[in-house]
């Protein structure tokens, strides 16, 4: 691995942890219970038995960190970033270790969320639909997990779990949870109420959450602000039935809606918006989800089967006014995107002895059908004459940007945790996945793309994983992992069809697009003792045939159009290091004093061009100090990042923000067993700063950059009561 010296600080700090942990382990009277994680093996395992980088955000941590947005969720997670699409569309997904854009599997109660899709400046269907106040637990797996979760997990997995009835029913037959909060970052006001009732056999939970907010605050000075009003709400029903001793049935139904109204003033007069005098957006996303889950805890096999159906509809309306010396025009655009997903997912696991060694075997299969539909429509009106037309910038509406697309996916997988001895464990894994894309050409597609051939994709892949765990002691583990990833060509990259005659821009399909593949090597070291615990990892991922969407191919000499086409990059590499640690310095009648650290360092390179990968964040992390007693805790946390020095400037000059260090102060108070109060003050010094991922896609001088700066000093309040 290149640049080994850059990892030296991590190795030194980890060595200090190890020395301290070993010295203390023999005398430790009490050690905190180890965290249990599911996402790494699809079965409950202690973190020390996992050969991958993982994070668990418990219900208590969600409450203490006052999580109500994706920004809150990953604020203190090293190497996990928000995919940002500007002030109108906001957060559209998550990136892990510099990999995003639908390469991170996002699961809600085990069901994959819809993929993100965007086209042009007026359409972007993201993945941020759920009101996060309904979450009870989040697990993050860093690095590829294709052997367990398929091609969507080439970059990692974010597994979210909603509230369950037994989260509220603790030795009672009925309970109500009420939570409300205020967020000064965006004037956000949240309300969540959940009620549960039941007995030992059957339990029912009903919950609802809503969040109303305005435009995000920003610390940079600007004369123009974008207006934004957002209402996001979710309703959740969760019924569980204990069928005898070994079997349980769960039914989860969820309805979520996200509405955003925007006034995009910052773009007016800039580039292609040079003659635009007003641009308003009215965007709505709605999802319905139904999940039936059967769990069998047997003496031989444990069985989990999920049957699910979900539909997400995104409808986005843009109202644009343009004025020149000779005309005044109103342009109305409508974008509709529908994602309909049905599937069955099964997992079987058991422990057994064979050939003198212990095994924990997991096998499974998944089947899914996805229908994706998209359409753009519009109307252009001359405000001086009243004449209207459905031809906008040379496009005759309505149009489709890709044909009706049906996706069929089938997969089987197996993994085995083989305990070779008391100190060694071998974990092989394998997956076979078949992917079929069946585009359907209708009259609407053919009218706009008369000469474009559509591409059927029928491909399959075998991916493997091999990990080795070495238990240095009961409290320390080393692991070495080799993992392969696979990603089929996305439907929109294979069959895009977009032509803007006014700008002489054409996006064309690529029938020769190959699937992506990846190979990751990761070394990790975990340890814990009476007063310290840590996790350290080095990783390198090499991508072959990495798919870069809509690459500018230059001018077509035949037509004079500028062509865009998704291309396979020959190879790309991302490598880096992660470190997380926590110390308990001392405790007594006055309370406990703890500190924590989390660091991420990464580098990425397009090996075809030699340019850096802008998706990889600069060195960043946080340091924290916490003082806690039985009924309250006070935390001071510093978040920091270096300036990004490896930037691909080959296409246009990027805006590169300075590094930053900001401080947050969080206070939690629990005056009774039923009540909690939280107060947070963020960016105490009121600094002006940006996160690299928020602005990495923007060229220098873009008017939206000041609006994407992080907020100055602001406060957040949260109150929770259980009845």
β-pair type (476-487, 611-612): unpaired
Kindly provide the residue ranges of all beta strands, DSSP E only, lying in 298-327, ordered along the sequence.
302-323
Q: Report how far residue 651's alpha carbon sits from residue 433's, in angstroms, rounded to the nearest whole number.
A: 36
Q: Which of 638, 643, 627, 719 is nearest to 683 (CA)?
A: 638
How do strand 404-419 and strand 562-588 relate by DSSP bridges? unpaired
Confidence band, pLDDT 50/70/90 cuts, at residue 588:
confident
Q: What is the CA radius of gyration of the chain?
A: 26
CA distance 378 to 654: 33
- Most distant CA pair in the chain: distance in Å? 88
**Which pLDDT value is given to residue 413?**
97
Q: How far apart are CA 486 and CA 153, in angstroms?
A: 8
Task: Give the span between the Cα atoms of 237 and 255, in whole angstroms.
Answer: 9
CA–CA distance, 288 with 309 (Å, rounded to integer): 8
What is the per-residue pLDDT for 174? 79
DSSP 706: G
Element (H, E) at 61: helix 59-64
Confidence of residue 292 (pLDDT cuts 50, 70, 90): very high
Name the residue with tokens 């894309």: 437
Nearest CA-CA partner of 236 in 299, 334, 164: 164
Residue 16, C-beta contacts closer than 8 angstroms, at least 6 positions apart: none
Q: Is 193 exposed, middle or buried (0-12, 13-18, 19+ CB in 10 A)?
A: middle
Q: Which region among 188-197, 347-356, 647-656, 666-675 has the lowest average model confidence (pLDDT)?
A: 647-656
Question: What is the value of pTM for the model shown?
Answer: 0.91
**Residue 426 pLDDT level (bands cut at 50, 70, 90):** very high
Instruction: Give the span between the Cα atoms of 596 and 583, in whole angstroms.
Output: 6
- In this predicted structure, the answer to whether residue 464 has a pLDDT above a threshold of 90 is yes
Q: Mean per-residue pLDDT for 63-69? A: 93
Distance CA 141, CA 578 (A): 13
| Residue 171 confidence (pLDDT) | 65
Cα dihedral 322, 324, 329, 331, rounded to 10, equals: -30
Q: What pLDDT shows up at residue 298?
A: 82
Q: If pLDDT is split at 50, 70 and 90, which confidence band does 524 have?
A: very high
Q: Residues of the chain with pLDDT > 90: what percent?
A: 66
Whether residue 525 contacts residue 536, with contact meaning beta carbons closer than 8 Å, is answered with yes
Pairwise CA distance, residues 362 & 41, whole Å: 8
Cis check: omega of the bond before 398, within 30 degrees of 0: yes
pLDDT over 70 (residue 208): yes
What is the structure's pLDDT at 678?
97
Give yes or no for residue 669 having a pLDDT over 60: yes
pLDDT tens-digit series, residues 545-586: 988 887 888 888 888 888 888 888 878 999 999 999 999 887
Q: How far apart are CA 559 and CA 468, in angstroms?
A: 56
Q: Please write the tens of the pLDDT for every residue from 320-330.
A: 999 988 889 99
Residue 47 DSSP class: G
Measured CA to CA, the distance from residue 75 to residue 242 in angstroms comes to 37
Give mean pLDDT, residues 293-306. Answer: 93
In angstroms, the Cα distances linking 135 to 68, 139, 194, 312, 708 are 9, 11, 12, 19, 27
The pLDDT of residue 27 is 41
Per the structure, how many domains does the chain have? 1
pLDDT of residue 28: 40
Query: In this structure, are strands 104-108 and 660-672 parallel, antiparallel, or unpaired?
Result: unpaired
Query: Model confidence at 404, in pLDDT bands (50, 70, 90)?
Result: very high
- Domain that includes residue 342, residue range: 4-350+357-722
Q: What CA–CA distance (Å, rounded) separates 716 from 713?
A: 10
Q: Which of 180, 145, 156, 192 is nearest to 81 (CA)?
A: 156
Q: Please provide the DSSP assignment of 221-285 as one string.
A: --S---EEEEEEEEEEEEEEEEETTTEEEEEEEEEEEEEEEEE-GGGTTSGGGTTEEEEEEEEEE
pLDDT tens sequence across 144-180: 899 999 988 989 999 999 999 999 987 677 799 999 9
CB count in 10 Å sphere of residue 420: 13
Q: Is the model more confident about 24 or about 590?
A: 590
Contact 86, 708 (CB under 8 A): yes
Write down the pLDDT at residue 139.
96
Nearest Cα to Cα of residue 226 among 216, 211, 238, 239:
216
Burial of 477-488, coded b for 16+ CB within 10 Å and e otherwise, reads bbbebebbbbbb
CATH of the domain at 118: 2.40.170.20
- The secondary structure element, H or E, covering residue 398 is none
Confidence of residue 30 (pLDDT cuts 50, 70, 90): low
Highest averaged pLDDT of the listed ranges 272-281, 409-418, 589-598: 409-418
Q: Report d(CA 603, CA 156) in Å as an integer.
A: 17
Strand ranges (E), 38-90: 45-46, 53-57, 80-84
Q: What angle do CA 392, 90, 150 make, to 5 degrees?
A: 100
Residue (of 336, 332, 287, 340) closest to 316 by Cα position: 336
Average pLDDT on 640-646 reads: 94
CA dihedral sign, ordered 564, 566, 572, 578: positive
The residue written with tokens 């500190």 in the block is: 595
C-alpha 437/C-alpha 455 separation (Å) is 8
Please say whether the beta carbons of 311 and 341 come within 8 A: yes
DSSP helix/strand/coil, 87:
helix
Average predicted confidence (pLDDT) for the chain:
90
**What's the rounded Cα separation, in Å, for the pair 130 and 163?**
13
Contact assessment for residue 80 and residue 96, using Cβ atoms and an 8 Å cutoff: yes
Question: Looking at the predicted structure, is the pLDDT value of residue 17 above 80?
Answer: no
Q: How far is CA 683 from CA 184, 187, 369, 713, in A?
A: 12, 16, 46, 5
Mean pLDDT, residues 26-47: 77
Strands 104-108 and 156-162, bridge-based pairing: parallel
pLDDT band at 234 (very low <50, low <70, confident <90, very high): very high
Rounded distance between C-alpha atoms, residue 555 and residue 553, angstroms = 7
Q: 647: which DSSP letter?
A: -
CA dist., res. 171 & res. 177, Å (int): 15
CA dist 643 and 655 (Å) reads 11
| Exposure string over 44-67, b if 16+ CB within 10 A, otherwise e | ebebbbbbbbbbbbeeeebbbbbb
User: What is residue 119's three-state secondary structure?
Assistant: strand
pLDDT in tens, 364-393: 999 999 999 999 999 999 999 999 999 998
Is there a contact between 628 and 592 (Cβ–Cβ < 8 Å)? yes
pLDDT at residue 19 above 60?
no
**Cα–Cα distance for residue pair 311/318, rounded to 1 Å:** 23
Buried b (16+ CB within 10 A) or exposed e, 87-110: bbbbbbbbbbbbbbbbbbbbbbbb
Measure CA of the first residue to CA of the last residue in the chain; give whole Å.
Answer: 55
Q: Is the pLDDT of residue 711 over 60?
A: yes
Q: Is 509 helix (H, G, I), strand (E, B) or coil?
A: coil
């Amino acid at each position: 691995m290149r640049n080994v010296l850059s990892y030296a600080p991590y190795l030194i700090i980890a060595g200090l942890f190890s020395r301290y942990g070993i010295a203390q382990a023999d005398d430790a009277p009490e050690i905190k219970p180890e965290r249990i994680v599911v996402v790494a093996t699809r079965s409950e395992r202690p973190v020390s038995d996992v050969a991958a980088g993982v994070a668990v955000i418990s219900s208590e941590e969600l409450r203490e960190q006052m999580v109500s947005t994706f920004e809150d969720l990953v604020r203190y997670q090293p190497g996990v970033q928000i995919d940002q699409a500007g002030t109108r569309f906001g957060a559209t997904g998550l990136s892990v270790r510099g990999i995003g854009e639908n390469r991170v599997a996002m699961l809600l109660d085990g069901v994959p969320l819809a993929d993100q899709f965007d086209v042009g400046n007026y359409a972007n269907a993201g993945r941020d639909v759920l009101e996060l106040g309904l979450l009870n637990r989040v697990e993050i797996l860093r690095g590829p997990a294709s052997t367990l979760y398929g091609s969507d997990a080439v970059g990692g997995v974010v597994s979210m779990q909603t509230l369950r009835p037994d989260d509220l029913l603790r030795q009672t037959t009925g309970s109500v949870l009420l939570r409300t909060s205020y967020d000064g970052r965006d004037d956000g006001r949240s309300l969540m109420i959940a009620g549960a009732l039941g007995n030992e056999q059957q339990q029912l939970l009903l919950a609802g959450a809503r969040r109303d907010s305005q435009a995000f605050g920003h610390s940079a000075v600007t004369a123009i602000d974008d207006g934004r009003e957002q209402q996001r709400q979710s309703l959740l029903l969760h019924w569980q039935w204990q069928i005898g001793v070994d079997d349980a049935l769960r039914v989860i139904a969820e309805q979520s809606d996200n509405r955003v109204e925007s006034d995009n003033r910052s773009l007016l007069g800039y580039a292609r918006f040079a003659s635009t005098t007003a641009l308003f957006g009215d965007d709505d996303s709605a999802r319905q989800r139904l999940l039936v889950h059967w769990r069998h805890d047997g003496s031989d096999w444990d069985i989990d089967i999920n049957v699910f159906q979900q539909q997400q509809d995104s409808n986005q309306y843009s109202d644009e006014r343009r004025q020149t010396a000779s005309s005044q025009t109103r342009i109305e655009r409508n974008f509709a995107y529908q994602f309909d997903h049905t599937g069955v997912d099964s997992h079987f696991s058991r422990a057994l002895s064979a050939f003198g060694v212990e095994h924990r075997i997991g096998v499974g299969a998944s089947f899914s059908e996805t229908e994706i539909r998209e359409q753009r429509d519009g109307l252009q009106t001359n405000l001086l004459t009243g004449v209207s037309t459905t031809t906008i910038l040379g496009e005759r509406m309505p149009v489709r940007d890709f044909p009706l697309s049906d996706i069929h996916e089938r997969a089987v997988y197996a993994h085995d945790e083989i305990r070779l001895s008391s100190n060694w464990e071998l974990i092989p894994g394998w997956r076979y996945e078949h992917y079929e894309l069946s585009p359907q050409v209708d009259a609407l597609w053919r009218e706009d793309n008369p000469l474009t051939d559509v591409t059927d994709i029928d491909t399959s892949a075998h991916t493997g994983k091999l990990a080795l765990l070495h238990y240095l002691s009961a409290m320390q583990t080393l692991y070495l992992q080799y993992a392969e990833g696979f990603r089929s060509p996305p439907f929109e990259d294979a069959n895009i069809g977009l032509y803007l005659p006014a700008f002489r821009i054409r996006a064309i399909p690529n029938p020769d697009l190959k699937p992506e593949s990846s190979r990751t090597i990761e070394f990790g070291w975990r340890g814990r003792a009476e007063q310290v615990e840590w996790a350290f990892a080095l990783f390198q991922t090499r991508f072959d045939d990495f798919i870069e969407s809509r690459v500018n191919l230059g001018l077509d000499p035949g037509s004079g159009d500028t062509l865009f086409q998704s291309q396979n990059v020959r190879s790309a590499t991302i490598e880096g290091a992660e470190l997380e640690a926590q110390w308990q310095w001392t405790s007594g009648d006055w309370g406990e004093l703890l500190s924590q650290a989390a660091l991420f360092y990464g580098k990425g390179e397009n090996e075809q061009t030699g340019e850096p990968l802008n998706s990889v964040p600069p060195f960043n992390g946080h340091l924290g100090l916490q003082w806690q007693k039985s009924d309250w805790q006070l935390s001071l946390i510093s978040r920091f990042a270096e300036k990004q020095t490896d930037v691909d400037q080959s296409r246009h000059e990027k805006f590169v923000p300075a590094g930053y260090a900001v401080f947050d102060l969080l206070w939690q108070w629990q005056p009774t067993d039923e009540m909690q109060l939280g107060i947070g003050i963020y960016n105490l010094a009121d600094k002006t700063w940006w996160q690299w991922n928020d602005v990495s896609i923007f060229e220098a001088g873009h008017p939206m950059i000041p609006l994407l700066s992080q907020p100055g000093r602001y406060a957040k309040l949260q109150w929770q009561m259980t009845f």
